[in-house]
Structure 1
Amino acid sequence: MTDTHTLIDNRPPSVATLFLERVVATPDTEAYRYPVPSSTGTGPDDWRVLTWSQAAERVLAVAAGLIALGVHPEERVALAANTRVEWILADLGVLCSGAATTTVYPSTNTDETAFILADSGSRVLIAENAAQLAKAREKRAELPELAHVVVIDGADARPAEDDPEDWVLSLAELEKRGTAYLEQHPECVEERVAALRADQLATLIYTSGTTGRPKGVRLAHDCWAYMARAIQATGMVTADDVQYLWLPLAHVFGKVLTAGQVSVGHVIAVDGRVDKIIENLPVVRPTYMAAVPRIFEKVYNGVVAKAREGGGAKYKIFQWAAGVAREYAKVSQDNFRHTGNASVPFALAAKHKVADALVYAKLREAFGGRLRAAISGSAALAPEIGYFFAGAGIHILEGYGLTESSAASFVNPGEAYRTGTVGKPLPGTEVRIAEDGEILLRGPGIMQGYHGLPEKTAEVLEEDGWFHTGDIGDLSPDGYLRITDRKKDLIKTSGGKYIAPAEVEGQFKAICPFVSNVLVHGANRNFCTALIALDEPTILKWAEEHGLGGRSYTEVVATDQARALIDGYVERVNEGLQRWQQIRKFRLLPRDLDIEHGEITPSLKVKRPVVERAFKDLIDEMYAGAREA
């Protein structure tokens, strides 16, 4: 096996270089799988394959097409599309042309899309469809630098009467132009790649800020080359793996996975349709996948709901099996930590074997039956949910990073993973904890700064390279990091007690199978309260079983029965909390939080200030008449 330091220290300047090396090394090996509608238009999708050489043919055509359009090194090419194979090919094409990718979530509204295109100075927009094209067209007068829009879905690439000539073309047309340009200038792409410098801008990712305009995070080519090699160096993923990729590629978490794949050479099955995840898993049968905690929470809640539907006896068996899973995971992880052996006592192993046959095996089959590891990131996973999956044989390795650190700064190491921590730093990344508990990072993955915002950059990035994450955490003696909360989210009650809301929220999610989102409040108050949104399918199923069938979600959560149900779980979670942490009052939200109202980001993180503004009346109601200390 290659020495870790040699692999990382001798990295090439860019992922574009790694891509061309990968194509030469394994041209006929499968690189990507992607779905297309079945030829009959009904039934399951057909899955197609691209080898590395087939992918390279398209990537080089995109790169040459951009060069033919006059795109120069480090100029920005924006990409607004859902997760699909064309996103990856286009991004690699941009990198191979020497340009830099500006990522745009397809759910971003017209005004913010225009802001990102203008602030980044993007010359070309690669848009998924007519809807994304329409956003640019509506704001064209404000985007003088935007010379072309390339539409992935060719049928939607229809110029309007007042469009400038050649302003709209399809991705197929761009590739056709690129192929023709390559015939005249066969070395043009290789020359651009060879000229790339490690410090050259590769990607602008705009953070979805909770207040004000988003900031463009400048990530150099070296950030991705380092990440690619560091992921490979961990040995967590091998060339034999099949990764299922559905995460938004406009988000740094999704994007870093594509960099790692180029270095390692494994297969990616790519489909960003979240509603297809359950259907796709048994088809793709991944060995490795990444997700955000909300997905694992939804799977867990779904399993609990299904067990409850099966009747009292079946539900009791599930509850017993869930308890065994958690005990098994805690004991085996603890033993591995102290002895290097994950063995458990005979009696626990025997119970686990029975529970596996009754419950766990079916759960693993739902994930495709071959899942070796799942990476969880972007937010904290409730430890009790993590222990449940671990005991059931679905190993969730939590990781940690930010857009500003190219996503993957920490990850749990394979067999030695510890639920409730985000693992150890990637090789080449340094960490230290400041006096106030803030996590500081330094290494090749750290951003160059915020685009055009030197003052904002100086607030978080020290001259010697240390980056202030804004997260609070602690390190174990052997280097495992535990995140306790966002620095700005820590609550200080009027009684002077500090509370980490994420900790309380995580405990509530672990015991309440009906919850979708929960936000704990209490800053400068003398007790804590919570806003709770329920999972609509789960609570409506419960409503049917309890004489409330036919009512809408809003109607159900307004009933005394629903309030009494959730009140029982609030009482349970309070039993395990310190007095000042306990939830004294709560309100059920009339709807779930969503991207459309700006309350959660496309990576499913809750924007606390937005939620607090939207439901201020409910918060005020809970504190009305309360005596403040």
Structure 2
Amino acid sequence: MSETVVSLFKDRVRRHADRVALRALRAGGAREEAALTWRQWAEAARQTAAALIDAGHQPGAVAAVLAGNRMLWPVADLGILSAGLVSAGLYPSSAPAQVRQILSDSEAEVVFVDTLARMEKVLAVRDALPRLRTIVCEDAAFTDGDAATAGNSRPEIVSWEEWLQRGARALRSPAIAERLEQRAQRLSPEQTAVLIYTSGSTGDPKGACISHRYLLASAASIRDTLKLGERDTTLSVLPYCHAGERVFGLYTRILCGMETGLVEDHTCIRDAARSFGPTVFGGLPRFFEKVFESLQAELAAAPAATRERWERVIATGRLRSRLIRTDAEVPAALEAQWRREGEPFFAHVREHFGGRLRLATSGGAALPMEIAELLDALGVTVLGAYGLTEHLCVAFNRPDRYAFDGVGPPMPGSELRIAADGEILVRRGPLTFSGYLNRPVETAEAFTDDGEWLCTGDLGTLSSQGILHVTGRKKELIALSTGKKVAPLPIESRLLEDPWISQAMLYGEGRKFITALICLRQAVVEGWARGEGNGPREYSAIIRHPDVLTRVQAAVNRVNANLSRTEQIRRLVVLDRDLTLEAEELTPTLKLRRSVIAERYRHLLDALYT
């Protein structure tokens, strides 16, 4: 059995050298279609590693990657690991200050970038990075003379093509080739392989030290949970620096031998899915919401007879889904009716994912119940999961055992318990991180006093069936002036079950009661306005229409009906746009940056208390 990512990768290359491993998709934003076999990937990674060794970089040093989902990322990553170095990733959307923070904290000696624009981000902060020796840029097009001139700068700037050529030349030396082999052999399972920086929604990002053992054990847990194999194909959409894409994606694909389509531009995900046809689709809730919105629009526009058939299949599918989720037996006649009447609709829904879908997963935030139930009723079961950078594989729904109001039972290799204050604790083990880089105090604080359990910071419950339910964040509890505390996450999740509401954030720290900031699904609301005929046409005017506000208030009232007086939303404000990653209102995994949002819209929120 492989003990490190490098030995795992070499095993895969030996088994399937000439199979395609990676595809750059024009439909996913790539400049041109391209394919890389496992053998070609291995050769390019070997050249990358040889160039690092030849340049004098020692085992344990850090090399970083600042790039989108291009082939550069996995090639550079495996090259860094093969040379015995530690691989650190940066979000491609990082601002120069964030680039400086991570490159400085990690003491990166080399950074691989894809575009000239991202190289400029590094150059803008290079004076604060004394340890940085080299920038390797894929889009740089130096001639040999230009490279020599660039080599006189600090840091040195090298094109990706030239870097690979340096590695190829270095490998002609038996000494370099031997050192490369020795470094791979000397890697140990407990050695830090990668640094994954937390998203920093509540403070400065910390570098989580992730060992080879963590990566291999996590990949095996994911494979066994979802029954993944070499016949599966998948898209790479999330940034590789994210724990989910790095572990659930990159290293699990290596373990399973899965072919991957690279989506460089996440806004092209639908076109990429239709072009590539993945069998496994992992996405954030927003993509599934867009599919839901498209289906709702199609249903509304369908002829009466077709709409009646849709609704009959959906009703049967909802009943079937609820029986499965309550561990009840699905009558054979019901199952047969659902499959017989639903197959034409199932095939249509699968086309949104490329037509070959057998498994869909969602992470990062809860998928609203209304969306999950509709998709399940139409043959696409979206399996929710729960994990964190420090221990990615905590809980996962299974294809034959799932719940939409929970994140599933513990994954293989993970053991959970709920602390007296409701916090979810995960037993320390092979799937757990090693600590935060150069932060011993914060590392100790991440565990219980005996060091045996990882403190997730999340609140939750375990059902009698062993299903984990996440109910909120300890640090996100809203403390009202009355002394009562309110967990916003479960209330926000219930609001999102309404087909009109796309985002919601509760507010009320230090106040007498709870209020809410709400964003609507623009396509749904504009569809309503068109149906009204004489209503306003501008979206900013539509959301102020009395009937729209009445409709939103009715959704809030339905949620309030099941809440205590303290938890109820007394007043609300509707924004005329979605909260976005680009405006720094969301984390890279699309979670709310509550402090940023509260400050930016304080004038609207405070007005609710006057």
TM-score under structure 1 length normalisation: 0.88
Output one character per residue of 1:562-614: Cα deviation in whole Å (capped at 9) or x when no partner.
42342343334444545544433211113321123221011111111211111
Which one-letter code corresponds to 1:249 in the other structure? Answer: Y
- Alpha-carbon contact 2:53-2:83 (below 8 Å) kept: yes
Output one character per residue of 1:361-389: Cα deviation in whole Å (capped at 9) or x when no partner.
31122222221111211222223322222
State the match for 2:406 in structure 1. 421
Which one-letter code corresponds to 2:578 in the other structure? Answer: D
Output one character per residue of 1:331-369: Cα deviation in whole Å (capped at 9) or x when no partner.
1332xx35xxx52363x4476347625643311222222
* Cα distance in structure 2, aligned partners of 1:171 and 1:44: 17
Shift of 1:447: 1.7
- Alpha-carbon contact 2:27-2:272 (below 8 Å) kept: no
* Structure 1 residues 483 and 178: alpha-carbon distance in aligned structure 2, compared to 1, 3 A threshold: same
Greater Cα offset, 18-27 or 359-368? 359-368
Corresponding residue pairs, total: 602
Which of 272, 275, 278 aligns to 1:286? It is 278
Unaligned 5+ segments in structure 1 are: 1-9, 625-629
Q: How does 1:456-475 map to 2 (within 5 A)?
A: 456-462=442-448, 463-475=450-462
Which of 156, 168, 176 aligns to 1:167? It is 156
Say whether residues 1:20 and 2:7 are aligned partners. Answer: no
State the match for 1:7 in structure 2. none
Output one character per residue of 1:185-240: Cα deviation in whole Å (capped at 9) or x when no partner.
33332221111122222111221223442211111222112212323333521111
Say whether residues 1:303 and 2:295 are aligned partners. Answer: yes
Q: How does 1:456-535 map to 2 (within 5 A)?
A: 456-462=442-448, 463-491=450-478, 493=480, 499-512=486-499, 514-523=500-509, 525-535=511-521
Name the Cα RMSD after superposition. Answer: 2.9
Q: How does 1:23-38 map to 2 (within 5 A)?
A: 23-36=13-26
* Cα distance in structure 2, aligned partners of 1:84 and 1:33: 9
Which secondary structure does the structure 2 equivalent of 1:380 belong to? coil
Unaligned 5+ segments in structure 2 are: none
* Cα distance in structure 2, aligned partners of 1:534 and 1:163: 54
Which of 232, 235, 243 aligns to 1:241? It is 232
State the match for 1:4 in structure 2. none
Shift of 1:23: 0.9
* Structure 1 residues 502 and 318: alpha-carbon distance in aligned structure 2, compared to 1, 3 A threshold: farther
* Cα distance in structure 2, aligned partners of 1:554 and 1:56: 53
Which secondary structure does the structure 1 equivalent of 2:573 belong to? strand
Say whether residues 1:622 and 2:591 are aligned partners. Answer: no
Which secondary structure does the structure 1 equivalent of 2:550 belong to? helix
Which one-letter code corresponds to 1:251 in the other structure? Answer: H
Shift of 1:519: 1.0
Which one-letter code corresponds to 1:26 in the other structure? Answer: H
Output one character per residue of 1:141-176: Cα deviation in whole Å (capped at 9) or x when no partner.
111111010112244998798961771111111111
Which one-letter code corresponds to 2:7 in the other structure? Answer: T
State the match for 2:139 in structure 1. 153
Greater Cα offset, 93-102 or 210-219? 210-219
- Alpha-carbon contact 2:236-2:260 (below 8 Å) kept: yes
State the match for 1:5 in structure 2. none
Which secondary structure does the structure 2 equivalent of 1:571 belong to? helix
* Cα distance in structure 1, aligned partners of 2:567 and 2:337: 35
Shift of 1:20: 0.9
TM-score under structure 2 length normalisation: 0.91
* Cα distance in structure 2, aligned partners of 1:321 and 1:430: 39
State the match for 1:93 in structure 2. 79
Shift of 1:242: 0.9
- Alpha-carbon contact 2:478-2:486 (below 8 Å) kept: yes
State the match for 2:181 in structure 1. 190
State the match for 1:120 in structure 2. 106
- Alpha-carbon contact 2:25-2:272 (below 8 Å) kept: no
Output one character per residue of 1:420-445: Cα deviation in whole Å (capped at 9) or x when no partner.
22223232222221111111112212
Shift of 1:561: 4.5
Which secondary structure does the structure 2 equivalent of 1:230 belong to? helix
- Alpha-carbon contact 1:61-1:178 (below 8 Å) kept: yes
Shift of 1:544: 4.4
* Cα distance in structure 1, aligned partners of 2:293 and 2:275: 23
State the match for 2:217 in structure 1. 226
* Structure 1 residues 443 and 478: alpha-carbon distance in aligned structure 2, compared to 1, 3 A threshold: farther
Which one-letter code corresponds to 2:331 in the other structure? Answer: V
Output one character per residue of 1:80-136: Cα deviation in whole Å (capped at 9) or x when no partner.
111222211111111111111111111111111111111110001111111111011
* Structure 1 residues 44 and 403: alpha-carbon distance in aligned structure 2, compared to 1, 3 A threshold: closer
Which one-letter code corresponds to 1:305 in the other structure? Answer: A
- Alpha-carbon contact 2:47-2:165 (below 8 Å) kept: yes
* Cα distance in structure 1, aligned partners of 2:21 and 2:30: 22
Which secondary structure does the structure 2 equivalent of 1:387 belong to? helix
Say whether residues 1:262 and 2:248 are aligned partners. Answer: no
* Structure 1 residues 525 and 314: alpha-carbon distance in aligned structure 2, compared to 1, 3 A threshold: farther
Greater Cα offset, 204-213 or 610-619? 204-213
Greater Cα offset, 223-232 or 278-287? 223-232
- Alpha-carbon contact 1:15-1:228 (below 8 Å) kept: no
State the match for 1:374 in structure 2. 360
Which one-letter code corresponds to 2:294 in the other structure? Answer: G
* Cα distance in structure 1, aligned partners of 2:310 and 2:567: 30
Shift of 1:271: 1.3
Shift of 1:36: 4.2
* Cα distance in structure 1, aligned partners of 2:177 and 2:124: 38
* Structure 1 residues 350 and 289: alpha-carbon distance in aligned structure 2, compared to 1, 3 A threshold: closer
- Alpha-carbon contact 1:384-1:507 (below 8 Å) kept: no
- Alpha-carbon contact 2:89-2:196 (below 8 Å) kept: yes
State the match for 1:452 in structure 2. 438
Which secondary structure does the structure 2 equivalent of 1:409 belong to? strand
Shift of 1:268: 1.5
Which secondary structure does the structure 2 equivalent of 1:511 belong to? coil
Which secondary structure does the structure 1 equivalent of 2:217 belong to? helix
Greater Cα offset, 353-362 or 256-265? 353-362
Which secondary structure does the structure 1 equivalent of 2:494 belong to? helix
Greater Cα offset, 577-586 or 230-239? 577-586
Which secondary structure does the structure 2 equivalent of 1:436 belong to? coil
Overall identity of the aligned pairs, in %: 34
Shift of 1:241: 0.6
Shift of 1:307: 2.5
Shift of 1:11: 5.0
Say whether residues 1:80 and 2:70 are aligned partners. Answer: no
* Cα distance in structure 1, aligned partners of 2:319 and 2:83: 53
State the match for 2:38 in structure 1. 52
Say whether residues 1:327 and 2:312 are aligned partners. Answer: no
- Alpha-carbon contact 1:411-1:423 (below 8 Å) kept: yes
* Cα distance in structure 2, aligned partners of 1:453 and 1:564: 51
Say whether residues 1:440 and 2:440 are aligned partners. Answer: no
* Cα distance in structure 1, aligned partners of 2:245 and 2:608: 39
Which one-letter code corresponds to 2:11 in the other structure? Answer: E
Which secondary structure does the structure 2 equivalent of 1:510 belong to? coil
* Cα distance in structure 2, aligned partners of 1:71 and 1:318: 61
Greater Cα offset, 294-303 or 68-77? 294-303
Which of 207, 218, 237 aligns to 1:216? It is 207
* Structure 1 residues 374 and 357: alpha-carbon distance in aligned structure 2, compared to 1, 3 A threshold: closer
* Structure 1 residues 309 and 572: alpha-carbon distance in aligned structure 2, compared to 1, 3 A threshold: farther
